[in-house]
């Protein structure tokens, strides 16, 4: 059997980002030394770690937030260590042009998980155009152009997932176009996979749990170092249907997978190839940034497991390096939001391998949705009100913690209604034009409308439907995998290294920040889990850190790490750090599995998008450094009390 370590190492350098090509470390003696080319991916990763640790604030510790170097000075040193960061300037130009709201609001958004669909500029242009059309009441409304409708709401529908997958269902051309665009972006073939829109990430997981044959394939094995609302919902639903739920464990404090234990759970002792169950595998942790060897998927498949890949935490172009055709998971789940930093609402996507459809059981499932363009919603509402029937419910919202988004609902508007809007709009224009002969152009205008509709039908029918401009997806495609990966790699590792330089000014020099999961690492993900500790060694509650960060225009999240395994040498840590998610039971240890599963560590989390820049990570670093002031929290309390704002309870 292959070695996990070898496989993990081989995943890094195919992207063409060997660190010997990325840095030009500044020591004088290196100028007279000929550097030999690095061929080993292990040497590349080692060089990256050594350079980051040696040249970012070398032999320095910061004990006072006022002593931190300025943004300009820090950025200058950053570019010396990572000179190829300047080759990602295209991202900064894109951010300034298409996402200028981030600069205007001075907001650092470090809490977005998923993939963006549209740009802020596109959203504003669409909004301004809609206002102009509404204001021009004397001008007949033009037929809705799908390419002009980037925004939408979701409409719930109940049904049978297996029936939908086998026989298809009614969908608008807008939905068909959106499916084609997403599958093209993710490099997923329509010949191999069927795609279903879901309300959010949690809904996608529950759909699989409701339909998977747990009566015959009883086991559910998950690999998550943090508590996920979606996964917990899947486990709850699966256990009700007879599943035996199991989880991988993670070693304290780097939170690496306990390989021996996981292998025992996966590998079958029986020679029969009976399907053992469902193996749910995230390609990396969205909380700690830990990446997991893809070899686990192969081991699971070789031992008779169906495999579900959770791709929600992937970077926007990481699917390019995944090798979907090689692993061919039975299920894949990802999520999309509308506009980064402005509109986190969106939807989930469930991809089902066509050869796996027959293994599913028929059951009535909730969570499948239709996408309804906003213009159809407005048109439908106006039509109902004009006929004296204004009973349509207002749009409401529901928060899904795992997707970190608010999803809007369309009051159960039927897709069949939406499909009729375009032709009805065109018929209305023809009637209006024909009814105004005094203008001398009624027949001409009617003829133009008819010809326009006929041309559109012919064009879109022959070319496979409407095209939707998802400008954010287009921009990510243009930037490419290497640029995006390199940029976030430099930023997240600078942030990790800089956080570890913050020390309390007492004699012991206790660290201000504790980082969970990988530290400085070449192939870590762009996410970070940490906690802040005061000079007494007491943890500052993550919720408090998040609230204070929000008041400093930094958006963070918090999570709960669990399934942690402690070696004997960490038995003292185990008694100190484990507690319930609500903060109770610190120091509690138990031998009961159900009780152990409820214990873990609450943490602050930050995630970098492809639009993150150096100012974002510097801003977070300087904010955290303010906790070096023992009175920082108390000062914040009094400052907001003086401003007649709601105080933070400590």
Where exactly are the structural domains of the chain?
43-112+479-580+591-642, 150-371
Q: Is the pLDDT of residue 317 over 80?
A: yes
The mean pLDDT of the chain is: 80
Q: Residue 457: pLDDT band by 50, 70, 90 thresholds? A: very low
d(CA 341, CA 316): 16
Q: Is the pLDDT of residue 576 over 60?
A: yes
Q: Is the pLDDT of residue 179 over 70?
A: yes
Q: Is the pLDDT of residue 287 over 90?
A: yes
Cis peptide before 553 (omega within 30 of 0): no
d(CA 329, CA 307): 5
Q: What is the pLDDT of residue 232?
A: 96
Q: Per-residue pLDDT averaged across 81-109, rounded?
A: 96
The second-level CATH assignment, the architecture, of 43-112+479-580+591-642 is Alpha-Beta Complex (3.90)
Q: Is the pLDDT of residue 120 over 60?
A: yes
Q: Express as a percent the part of the chain with pLDDT over 90.
A: 58
Q: Residue 392: pLDDT band by 50, 70, 90 thresholds? A: very low
Q: Is the pLDDT of residue 385 over 80?
A: no
pLDDT in tens, 462-496: 334 567 889 999 999 999 999 999 999 999 999 99
Q: Per-residue pLDDT averaged across 68-76, rounded?
A: 97
Spatial CA neighbour of 521 closest among 501, 550, 545, 492? 492
Residues 6+ apart with CB under 8 A from 554: 107, 108, 110, 619, 620, 623
Q: What is the pLDDT of residue 413?
A: 31
Which class is 150-371 in CATH? alpha beta
Q: In 519-556, which positions are buried (b, 16+ CB within 10 angstroms) versus exposed (e)?
A: bbbbbbbbbbbbbbbbeeeebbbbebbbebbeeeebbb
Q: What is the pLDDT of residue 585?
A: 56
| Of the candidate ranges 83-97, 243-257, 497-511, the one whose mean pLDDT is the lowest | 497-511
Q: What is the pLDDT of residue 2?
A: 39
Q: Taking the chain, what is the end-to-end CA distance rounded to the nearest angstrom?
A: 52
Q: Express as a percent the part of the chain with pLDDT over 70.
A: 72
Q: Residue 131: pLDDT band by 50, 70, 90 thresholds? A: low
Q: What is the pLDDT of residue 84?
A: 95
d(CA 495, CA 492): 5
Q: Per-residue pLDDT averaged across 65-69, rounded?
A: 95
Q: Is the pLDDT of residue 100 over 70?
A: yes
Environment class of 362 (CB within 10 Å of its CB; exposed 0-12, middle 13-18, buried 19+): exposed
More confident: 428 or 332: 332
Strand partners, 473: none
Q: What is the pLDDT of residue 375?
A: 62
Q: Per-residue pLDDT averaged across 406-426, rounded?
A: 35
**Highest mean pLDDT (candidates 218-227, 262-271, 571-580):** 218-227
Q: What is the pLDDT of residue 444?
A: 46
Q: Per-residue pLDDT averaged across 90-105, rounded?
A: 96
């Amino acid at each position: 059997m292959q070695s996990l370590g070898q496989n993990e190492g081989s995943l890094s350098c195919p992207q063409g980002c060997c660190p010997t090509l990325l840095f030009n470390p500044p020591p004088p003696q290196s100028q007279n030394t000929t550097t030999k080319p690095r061929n080993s991916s292990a040497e590349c990763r080692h060089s990256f770690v050594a350079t980051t640790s040696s040249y970012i604030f070398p032999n320095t510790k910061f004990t006072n937030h006022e002593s931190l170097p300025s943004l300009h000075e820090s950025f200058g040193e950053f570019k010396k260590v990572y000179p190829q960061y300047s080759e990602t300037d295209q991202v900064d130009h894109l951010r300034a042009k298409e996402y200028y709201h981030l600069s205007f609001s001075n907001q650092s958004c470090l809490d977005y998980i998923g993939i963006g669909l549209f740009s802020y500029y596109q959203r504003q242009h669409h909004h301004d155009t809609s206002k102009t059309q509404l204001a021009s009441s004397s001008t007949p409304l033009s037929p809705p152009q799908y390419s002009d409708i980037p925004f939408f709401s979701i409409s719930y529908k109940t049904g049978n997932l297996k029936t939908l997958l086998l026989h298809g269902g009614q969908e608008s051309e807008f939905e068909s176009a959106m499916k084609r665009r997403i599958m093209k972006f993710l490099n997923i073939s329509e010949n191999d996979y069927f795609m279903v829109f879901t309300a959010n990430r949690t809904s996608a997981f529950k759909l699989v749990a409701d339909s998977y044959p747990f009566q015959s394939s009883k086991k559910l094995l998950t690999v998550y170092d943090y508590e996920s609302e979606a996964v917990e919902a899947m486990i709850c639903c699966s256990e009700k249907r007879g599943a035996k739920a199991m989880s991988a464990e993670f070693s304290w404090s780097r939170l690496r997978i306990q390989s021996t234990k996981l292998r025992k759970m996966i590998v079958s002792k029986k020679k029969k190839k009976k399907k053992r169950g469902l193996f749910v595998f995230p390609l990396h942790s969205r909380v700690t940034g830990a990446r997991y060897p893809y070899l686990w998927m192969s081991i699971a498949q070789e031992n008779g497991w169906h495999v579900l890949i959770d791709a929600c935490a992937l970077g926007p172009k990481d699917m390019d390096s995944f090798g979907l055709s090689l692993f061919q998971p039975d299920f894949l789940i990802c999520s999309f939001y509308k506009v980064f930093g402005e509109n986190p609402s969106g939807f989930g996507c469930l991809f089902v391998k066509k050869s796996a459809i027959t293994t599913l059981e028929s059951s009535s499932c909730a969570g499948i949705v239709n996408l309804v363009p906003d213009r159809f919603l407005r048109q439908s509402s106006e039509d109902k009100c004009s006929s004296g029937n204004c009973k349509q419910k207002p749009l409401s919202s529901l928060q899904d913690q795992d997707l970190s988004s608010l999803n809007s609902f369309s009051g159960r508007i039927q897709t069949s209604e939406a499909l009729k809007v375009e032709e009805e709009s065109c018929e209305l224009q023809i009637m209006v034009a024909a009814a105004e002969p005094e203008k001398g152009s009624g027949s001409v205008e009617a003829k133009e409308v008819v010809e326009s509709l006929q041309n559109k039908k012919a064009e879109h029918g022959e070319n496979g439907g409407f095209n939707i401009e998802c400008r954010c997806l287009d921009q990510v495609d243009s930037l490419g995998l290497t640029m995006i990966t390199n940029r976030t790699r430099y930023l997240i590792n600078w942030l990790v290294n800089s956080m570890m330089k913050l020390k309390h000014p007492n004699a012991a020099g206790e660290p201000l920040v504790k980082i969970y999961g990988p530290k400085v690492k070449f192939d870590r993900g762009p996410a970070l889990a940490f906690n802040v500790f005061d000079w007494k060694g007491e943890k500052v509650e993550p919720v408090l850190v998040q609230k204070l960060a929000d008041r400093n225009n930094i958006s963070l999240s918090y999570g709960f790490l669990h399934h942690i395994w402690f070696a004997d040498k960490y038995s003292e840590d185990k008694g100190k750090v484990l507690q319930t998610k609500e903060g109770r039971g610190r120091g509690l240890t138990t031998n009961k599995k159900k009780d152990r599963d409820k214990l873990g560590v609450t943490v602050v989390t930050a995630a970098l998008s492809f639009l993150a820049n150096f100012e974002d990570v510097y801003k977070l670093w300087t904010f955290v450094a303010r906790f070096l002031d023992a009175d920082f929290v108390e000062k914040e309390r009094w400052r907001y009390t003086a401003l007649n704002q709601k105080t933070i309870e400590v």
